[in-house]
Structure 1
Amino acid sequence: MAICLLPLTYVIFQLFKLVLERRDQCCYMLAYECYKAPEDRMLNTELCANIILRNKNLGLEEYKFLLQTIANSGIGEETYSPRNVLEGREDSPTLTDALSEMDGICYETLDKLFARTGISPSEIDILVVNVSLLSTVPSLTARIINRYKMKANVKAFNLSGMGCSASLVAIDLVQHLFKCQKNSLAIVVSTESMGSNWYCGKERSMMLSNCLFRSGGCSMLFTNNRSLKHQAILKLKCMVRTHLGSNDEAYECCIQVEDDLGYRGFRLTKGLTKAAAIALTRNLRVLVPKVLPIWELLRYTIVTYRRSKSQHTKSEGVGSGLNLKTGIEHFCLHPGGKAVIDEVGKSLGLSDYDLEPPRMALHRWGNTSAGGLWYVLGYMEAKKRLKKGDRILMISLGAGFKCNNCVWEVMRDLKDGNVWKDCIDSYPRKTAANTFMEKYGWINDESVSFIRLD
């Protein structure tokens, strides 16, 4: 009897230990704060046009290209620009300019985050900051630790070069640290250094970043302390990261380089859409079985098998693909650009209602790089879409090339106006076009294509 009970007791003990360990590995989001720049940094049509016309390296064709890009970008009249760009110093940024831009975003969002949650900076156990295009000494994490006088044993991580999907990379790091550090509090700060990385050359593939990227960022508070579960707004269910860096074409489709004239900028190539499609497909192959019900996976398997047997099938037909809405209620796409949002939405079979948050976030805030996802989430919350038990799929694409996706569970009904509170009643806009389309829409007219730079 004793010989039989001993291994059984051991198995029960290991199972009990595993359950307890998993209970301590939860990742809860307690709060987040998005950045809203001062009104004197707002960009309208006239300011955008003036900034474009200041670049003496451009010819008529380049001006036409930029105006055409902005007119069709889906970005509105109320986005924000770095101060040194507004002041005409984009061609000679200083370190002071860069640090001032980062301090404004980080400190304002963190001040509000600590005030909202009642958590003291001295209680923070983990601090992760992701800014792709700026790496200083001491690091940006050190600046925050110094500002808020955090404790000496805080685990600090400074991530650079991770692109627009860096926010989920930082959260994945926090999630893994939680596995070996119980009852902890973690801060993630996601933003980008725009002012010191303005492109002043004339290569079209590098000028796109000036048209799309705007100032913004977000600070988030996480915990794995189950006693704080009642304060949580989201719970991380799963995360999948996919990296195509071993593929040369994917690696080079989003890359920081110098042009032939020595101007440094961010090059976006035509290979980006192909890399994004491959990365997203591979990512979802791993993620989808974790979140969709078995009956939907079984239905998809049967339909796919029947299609493969039919040699005369000309089209897949409606409903032949996976129905993501059987396991996901909300889709939080990175607002990287109008074309990206439309293509991802089409490939996933999403409706205009599903795509409204990223489209409106792009219109109001522009592409704020790693912070963009949280403006989309803020729109959903301000519109009171998020109910307890709902699941949110976050999709982010970034340089590398990589695709990082995760699923959150809403812990309680969310209805805070957050950074959208002053303008949410005016959204959704019937059209995402800005007044560039009214003033420069003629640029799309083929009848003016005869205009050339002599």
Structure 2
Amino acid sequence: MARAQDELLSTEIVNRGMENSGPYAGSLSFSVRVRRGLPDFLNSVNLKYVKLGYSYLLSPVFYFLTAPVFIVIFSAQIGNLFIWQDFCPRCDPIGALFMVGLLGLIIYIYLDLSSRSTYLVDFACYRPPNELKISKDEFIELAKKSGKFNGAAIEFQRRALKNSGIGDETYMPRVVFQPGHKITLKDGREEAAMVMFGAVDDLLAATKIRPRDIRILIVNCGILNTTPSLSSMVINHYKLRHDIHSFNLGGMGCAAGIIAIDLAKDLLKAYPGCYALIVSTEVVSYTWYSGK
């Protein structure tokens, strides 16, 4: 059946049973005649060379190889009009139009083949309120008061704080130490909204860019992957355009930030002259270790 579809076959079905006079008069019998419709262009040898020539035509190497030829012709036309005729006012207008068109073609090819640059307009980092700032000593005290950790776990966390480089100016959600509180997905989404919206608000205020002007949105978070996604939270909160190119990267760890930047660079090449918003975050409350 796949072969028949590829060859674009046409069929004729003829009812011959109604004219029979035998014991099975009135029964239906069918005769199928198969005729070839169109040639199989997909497997044609000529089409293969057409594809090959088309790929060569679109290759930048083709333009670099043919550019010297056009330059020679252009120089010859310049010589004919302005050197040999000594700036004669009766110059050939067809030759002049040819040179102008050729020069425009060369400029167009050069601009089309030149790689477009990607610029960082601005960036912003969210800074939580001071009530969420927790020192290392306060961290240990809150962990003890939560009643969720035994002595061995407290000692392990003390060593982890010392060796991880976390200082006394660290912010974290205090809900993880709240006694009797069970962390839910709502806590994680609230933390994500606080961090993402806080950073994007500062960024939009500094750049004066309207949310409707953003055509590409990339959000990455290594731990929290919700449905609806974090990118949909940003789209709904800022009322971004309905045809925005949205991407939500999750489960990639710390490499997701670099991957998001590389993805934005590739997308800006496909959609030049627009803005791409990258939101990189991490949510710790939903996956926080709550002891035994």
The TM tier, using the shorter chain, reads 0.5 to 0.7
Residue 186 of structure 1, aligned match among 276, 279, 283: 276
2:21 corresponds in structure 1 to none
Letter in 1 for 2:109: K
- SS of structure 1 residue aligned to 2:270: coil
Kindly state the Cα deviation for residue 125 of structure 1 after the two structures are TM-superposed.
0.6
Instruction: For residue 64 of structure 1, report the CA deviation from its aligned partner.
Output: 2.5
Distance 1:194 1:46 in 2: 19
Judging changes above 3 Å, is the alpha-carbon distance between structure 1 residues 64 and 156 closer, same or farther for their aligned structure 2 residues? Answer: same
Q: Deviations over 1:245-293 (max 9, x none)?
A: xxxxxxxxxxxxxxxxxxxxxxxxxxxxxxxxxxxxxxxxxxxxxxxxx
CA distance in 2: counterparts of 1:8 and 1:118, whole angstroms: 45
**Aligned equivalent of 2:120:** 29
Residue correspondence of structure 1 range 222-241 to structure 2 within 5 A: none
Q: Kindly indicate whether the alpha-carbon contact (under 8 Å) linking 1:55 and 1:200 is maintained by their aligned counterparts in 2.
A: no
Following TM superposition, by how much is the alpha carbon of 1:193 offset from its aligned partner in structure 2, in angstroms?
1.1
Q: Residues 53 and 128 of structure 1: is their aligned pair in 2 closer, same or farther, counting only changes over 3 Å?
A: same
- Supply the distance in 1 between the matched residues of 2:137 and 2:217 (Cα, whole angstroms): 40
For residues 137 and 180 of structure 1, do their structure 2 counterparts lie closer, same or farther at Cα, with a shift above 3 Å needed?
A: same
- In the TM superposition, what is the alpha-carbon distance from 1:143 to its structure 2 partner? 1.3
Give the counterpart of 1:20 among 112, 118, 128: 112
CA contact (8 A) 1:41 1:86 kept: no
Is there any run of 5+ residues in structure 2 with no aligned partner, and where? 1-64, 71-104
Give the secondary structure class of the aligned counterpart of 1:28.
Answer: coil
Deviation at 1:140, TM superposition (A): 1.2
Kindly indicate whether the alpha-carbon contact (under 8 Å) linking 1:127 and 1:187 is maintained by their aligned counterparts in 2.
Answer: yes
3-state SS, counterpart of residue 34 of structure 1: coil
1:68, distance to aligned residue in structure 2 (A): 2.2
Name the CA shift for 1:136/1:73 in 2 (closer, same or farther; >3 Å): closer
Asked whether the equivalents of residues 217 and 247 of structure 2 are also in contact (C-alpha less than 8 Å), the reply is yes
Q: Which has the larger radius of gyration?
A: 2
Pairing 1:240-319 to 2, within 5 Å after superposition: none
Change (3 A) 1:17 1:55: farther
Aligned position for 2:143: 52
- Deviation readout 1:283-334 (Å, 9 max, x if unpaired): xxxxxxxxxxxxxxxxxxxxxxxxxxxxxxxxxxxxxxxxxxxxxxxxxxxx
Residue in structure 2 matching 1:62, options 138, 153, 156: 153
Is 1:116 aligned to residue 174 of structure 2? Answer: no
CA-atom RMSD in angstroms: 2.6
Q: Report if the CA contact (8 A) 1:33-1:110 is conserved.
A: yes
SS of the residue corresponding to residue 129 of structure 1 reads strand
The SS at the match of 1:130 is strand
**Structure 2 counterpart of 1:98:** 188
Name the counterpart of 2:129.
38
CA distance 1:86–1:42, change in 2 (3 Å):
farther
Query: How far off is 1:73 after superposition?
Result: 3.1
| Alpha carbons of structure 1 residues 178 and 62: separation in structure 2 relative to 1, 3 Å | same
- Tell me how far apart the structure 1 counterparts of residues 147 and 288 of structure 2 sit (CA, whole Å): 14
How has the CA–CA distance of structure 1 residues 200 and 87 changed in structure 2, closer, same or farther, with 3 Å as cutoff?
closer
Pick one of 60, 67, 71 that aligns with 2:162: 71
Quick one: distance in 1 between partners of 2:179 and 2:260?
33
Q: Is residue 2:218 matched to residue 1:128?
A: yes
Q: Equivalents in 2 of 1:22, 1:102: separation in Å?
A: 40
Q: 1:172 to 1:15 in 2, by over 3 A?
A: farther
The answer for unaligned runs of 5 or more in structure 1 is 1-6, 203-454
SS where residue 150 of structure 1 aligns? Answer: coil
**CA distance in 1 between partners of 2:178 and 2:109 (Å):** 60
Report the TM-score, using the length of structure 2 for normalisation.
0.60
One-letter amino acid of the structure 1 residue matched with residue 66 of structure 2: L
Question: What's the counterpart of residue 172 of structure 1?
Answer: 262
Instruction: Tell me if the contact between 2:215 and 2:274 (Cα under 8 Å) persists in the aligned partners.
Output: yes
Higher RCO (C-alpha under 8 Å, 6+ residues apart): 1
